[in-house]
Amino acid sequence: MPLLRLSSKRLTSALLRPQQLRTVATSNLPTSTNAEIAKEARLPAFDPPADSQSAALLAQHLPHMVATYVRPPQVFTKGAGCYLWDLENRRYLDFTAGIAVTALGHADPHLANLVFDQAKQLVHVSNLYHNPWTGELSRLLVQRTADAGAFDGVARAFLCNSGSEANEAALKFARKVGKMVGGEKKVGIVSFENSFHGRTMGSLSATPNPKYQKPFAPMVPGFSYGKYNDVEAIKELVTEETCGVIVEPIQGEGGVYEGSTEFLVALGKRCREVGAVLIYDEIQCGLGRTGDLWAHQHLPKEAHPDILTMAKALGNGIPIGAVLVNEHVASRIVTGDHGTTFGGNPLAARVGHYVFGRLSDPELLTHVQAMGALFVKHLDALREKFPDVVKEVRGRGLMLGVQLDRDPTELVKACRERGLLIITAGTNTLRFVPPLVITEEVVEEGMQILGEAMEAVFRK
């Protein structure tokens, strides 16, 4: 009922009082309409109205923007820690972290000063020349990963600009290695249902979701898809003509599903049997998100990858991606095989060096585990309170999914109207990926808002 929504939102916070609600309840409107009005009256009407500064600004901007996104009406202008403020200076608690990006929170003071300092010195020279920070970040990525007990045999790094670019590089590297060790027919790439690896043509071809693939079909040839966590299917899926297998240790966009140890071990063993490169996409689940530096590091070595991709949190909002490889892969990549204009520029690389140093700090990783446990405690309580709606809580650390029995769009909106930003994933899944520096007090605040929103939406 969109017209009702517009009118009730404008009246809710300032005009509707208990007396008025009683009047509505005794009116001669249909029962369903009365129920909708009463429900709307419980919402704080946080979204900017049609006569707001935000609406005026969007009216100027949207006609000039390609319509690739559906956004709520907020225009965010500043942030600090776990909070954002919109153009109307309304504050929102952010449980999205820019889709698992701002792990150190918004406007980290040291990072802001670092960006300012580096921008005054040198931003870009291209990869035709050396700079101090490309190599230093590469060294830190390799060293700290090895020190964490992750990626057995990690040797070298390639820096780029995004997650999709990192996965494109990984797929190209796998193709090159495959052809060198197995001939021209060893070019097949395997990925898994429910995965998300990016929107460029190679990474999109590894993302078997018709919603993303159909408008741009046909996909790059040579890709095949398996069922996630299906151990029995691996032998038939990964063959002598497979050059690479790409998999998320924890699927993010697909709904926060974790790969079982049995599945990932079997996948690693099969890749070694046929000489295929195993690629772990940890763009969302890596970099401390689970409470370990890397989501795969608890696995036995036979399940460790040959290639590891990352992006998102590595720049805390500054675009950067990276690919780690072992010597088996690195020794087969030579000058001219791949490249990037902006990747590893001094500004992004220095930012990545600082951020990765923070994210790999054992003290922060312990904090992530503690905050993740606190989230799960509250989410389990909500599951007990709304057992018909909340079906499952899953994930690790601060990468959590809450499975609902219905479309969560209304709940997401109700949370936003109360000043809490949350996002979804997969099918009917709420996704929680807040800044890793979130505190106990902020978790409690957000869970209080989530509970109130659930009461308003589910107790009709």
pLDDT in tens, 399-445: 999 999 999 999 999 999 999 999 999 999 999 999 999 999 999 99
Q: Residue 459: its pLDDT value, please? A: 85
* pLDDT the model gives residue 37: 53
Q: For residue 175, is pLDDT > 80?
A: yes
17 or 243: which carries more pLDDT confidence? 243
State the CB neighbour count (10 A cutoff) for residue 302: 14
> What pLDDT is attached to residue 38?
52
Is residue 146 pLDDT above 70, yes or no? yes
Question: pLDDT (tens digit, 9 = 90+) per residue, 265-290?
Answer: 999 999 999 999 999 999 999 999 99
pLDDT of residue 246: 98
Rounded Cα distance between 317 and 267, Å, is 33
Percent share of the chain, pLDDT over 70: 90
* Other C-beta atoms lying within 10 Å of the C-beta of residue 128: 7
- What's the whole-model pTM score? 0.90
Q: Which of 417, 410, 315 is nearest to 86 (CA)?
A: 417
Q: What's the pLDDT at 1? A: 32
**pLDDT over threshold 80, residue 22:** no
pLDDT at 13: 36
Note whether 453 and 411 are within 8 A (CB): yes
Place of tokens 């590089």: 169
Per-residue pLDDT at 258: 98
What is the percent of the chain where pLDDT is above 90? Answer: 89
- 């990468």: which residue's tokens? 399
Give the chain's mean pLDDT: 92
Mean pLDDT of the 208-227 span: 97
Q: In the structure, how many helices (H) and strands (E) does the chain have?
A: 17, 17
**With b meaning 16 or more CB within 10 Å and e meaning fewer, what string describes 161-182?**
bbbbbbbbbbbbbbbbbbeeeb
Kindly report, residue by residue over 115-135, the tens digit of the pLDDT: 999 999 999 999 999 999 999
Burial grade of 30 (CB within 10 A; 0-12, 13-18, 19 or more): exposed
* pLDDT above 90 (res 19): no
Q: For residues 412-449, b (16+ Cβ closer than 10 Å) or e, as one string?
A: bbbbbbbbbbbbbbbebbbbbbbbbbbeeebbeebbeb
* DSSP calls for 193-210: TT----SSHHHHHT---H
How big is the chain by its Cα radius of gyration, in Å?
24
